[in-house]
Chains A and B, each alone.
Chain A
Amino acid sequence: MSEIRKSWGLHTGVVALLLALNFILPDYHHGNLARVMVLACYAMGYNMLFGYTGLLSLGHALFFAAGMYGMSLTVQHLGWSAGPAIIVGLASGLAMSLVVGILSLRTAGVAFMIVTLMFAQAGYLAALYFGEYTRGDEGFVIQKAARQIGGIDLSDPMSRYLAALVLFAVCLFITLRVVQTGFGRVLVAIRENEERTRMLGYDVHLHKLLAILLSGTMSAAAGAAYGLLFGYAGATFASVQYSIFPLLWVLLGGAGTVLGPFVGTLFMFYLIDLSSDISTAYMLIAGLTLVLLTLFAPQGLVGELRRRTLRWLP
């Protein structure tokens, strides 16, 4: 019992720390952290499927983009306000993950990776094809006037940071709660030994499908929020690059840990940011660091912490 209390304490502490940072951080880092928190939600969604269920998707950009376009297209072309548009973004992510889930779960392993990658590529090409509405790679700006919820101007740095924090906290606590329930433990069991789990009496297929729905919808929430908070939607977010990012963030932070996705996203963001200060060959520095980290902390930063000292980390 005390382990559960400890982990709630720790995660609440992280959220409280992020809240405190809102009042302390200089503008530049304040903006960065808001961005990192939203992207970390994407990583948390990815982690639910990859880290906890053991399904490696290479097509999560589809869900991120579904949320982003679901929200931004309704704002842009239907003139909806931000609140209902976010719901559309979430619904798009849910619907997309249902379709992709039902079809891709007919495969496993490498085939699952390829199938999810192909679906995401189809989504990316669709975003380009319907350039009349999406403006393709160039994308479109979501007008400041549309970026308001309940009179709060989300383009204002302070409210943007707080909105990002609220979303982050919701995703973090949902993840924490899920992994503590029987459902979450069955997901881990599927990751560890699928056939054993089936032969203990669990509907493995249904559990995987639910994991994809949760993962895809959380990714879509991040996509919708990203578009709204930073005022831009473009096809780049649907590209394969954005399917690889969450995988990297999760691997770096620690797959199958609740805090890993955030730590990984933060680490990678500042790794690129700081190394580009040093040299124009910043990807070389970033790449080398990633190789070293993979060699010496193969379970990721938080995963390594759990292995060495904090065994109770969820």
Chain B
Amino acid sequence: MMLLSTRGLSRHFGGLKAVENVDFDLPEGQVRALIGPNGAGKTTYVGLLSGRIPASAGSVTFDGQNITHLPAHLRIRAGMAYTFQITSIYGRLSVQENVALALRWRKGGNEAATTKRATDALERVGIAKRADQLAGDLSYGHQRLLEIAMGISQQPRLLILDEPTQGLADSEIVDFISLIRDLVGEMTILLIEHNIHVVMQTADAITVLNGGEILAEGTPGEIRKNTAVQAAYLGTK
């Protein structure tokens, strides 16, 4: 079953076609990587999915519902979670409160249950010991992990990660890969990633965007061999 589909999804900024006529299907439970050269339209595309950016044309279907005109916060409540490309946390609030904020709108969740779930999420990404620190005092790598913890604490149907490993140290990337593997089966993951090693280690399937359009789609093995993808990345024929 498809958790997320787009048909003819487009976004134009003036004359620039950032995303053009994208038909895309993401089956439930898959880890899908979205890759492409800089300026390929990846962040704009997930912005259209999450509702941060309104679409110029086309439709987005999530869990069988047309959500094209649904505001962003309702898409989150419908079961999407979103982490920003540039780390976006509450620097002047505690780590614990950052995650608690991701949870409070849930119905029937009292503060004790919220605290418990927030702690679980922090444990999962390995920063539970820092729960009482100010989020702004964390190292950059830990801030990225905190943002992921905020996402997974919501137990979303779909977790969208926009370049989660950007700026992480090699050891942190190893941990990140095992975290993603650990999440398989719990949620569907859409991963924008530049680090090809991470993509090959985690993704079930890869979609390649180039110039706002889908260039190729397939398993990691197929994408690796695809000459059009090689050309787009390396500029060779």
Contacts and interface: CB of A to CB of B under 8 A. Distances in A.
Nearest to B90: A192
B189 to A, nearest CB: 17
A188 B76 CA distance: 20
A192 B52 contact: no
**Highest count of chain B CB atoms <10 Å: which of A182, A193, A198, A199:** A199
B101 A197 contact: yes
Contacts of A202: 73, 105
A2 to B, nearest CB: 14
A219 B50 CA distance: 38
Interface string B60-96: 0000000000011110110000101000111111000
Interface in B78-122: 82, 84, 88-93, 97, 100-102, 104-105
B50 A199 contact: yes
A203 interface: yes
A167 interface: no
A26 interface: no
Nearest to B103: A200
Contacts of A186: 101, 104
Contacts, number: 56
Contacts of A6: none
A297 to B, nearest CB: 17
A185 B99 CA distance: 12
B90 A201 contact: no
Given A189-B101, A201-B73, A195 B93 contact: no
B154 interface: yes
Given A188-B93, A192-B92, A199 B101 contact: no
A267 to B, nearest CB: 24
A195 B90 contact: no
Nearest to A195: B88
B104 A196 contact: no
A196 B73 contact: no
Given A192-B91, A192-B92, A182 B84 contact: no
B128 to A, nearest CB: 20
A201 B154 contact: yes
Given A195-B88, A198-B73, A202-B73, A185 B97 contact: yes
Contacts of B72: 198-199
Nearest to B153: A200
Contacts of A189: 90, 93, 101
A49 B84 CA distance: 27
Given A193-B88, A204-B73, A199 B82 contact: yes
Contacts of B161: none
Nearest to B79: A201
A130 B186 CA distance: 66
Contact of A196 (B71, B77, B84): B84
B150 interface: yes
Contact of A192 (B74, B76, B93): B93
A74 to B, nearest CB: 40
Interface string A32-72: 00000000000000000000000000000000000000000
Contacts of B91: 192
A108 to B, nearest CB: 16
A188 B90 CA distance: 10
A62 B76 CA distance: 37
Which of A186, A193, A203 neighbours the largest number of chain B CB atoms within 10 Å of its CB? Answer: A193
Contacts of A195: 52, 84, 88
A196 B76 contact: no
Q: Which of A196, A198, A200, A202 has the most CB of B within 10 A?
A: A200
24 contacts: A182-B104, A185-B101, A186-B104, A189-B93, A189-B101, A192-B90, A192-B92, A192-B93, A193-B90, A195-B84, A196-B89, A197-B101, A199-B82, A199-B84, A199-B88, A200-B73, A200-B101, A200-B105, A201-B74, A201-B76, A201-B105, A202-B73, A202-B105, A204-B73
Given A182-B104, A200-B101, 5 more contacts: A185-B97, A189-B101, A199-B50, A199-B72, A201-B76
* A-B interface, 5 closest residue pairs, ranked by CB to CB distance from nearest: A201-B76, A192-B90, A182-B104, A196-B88, A201-B77
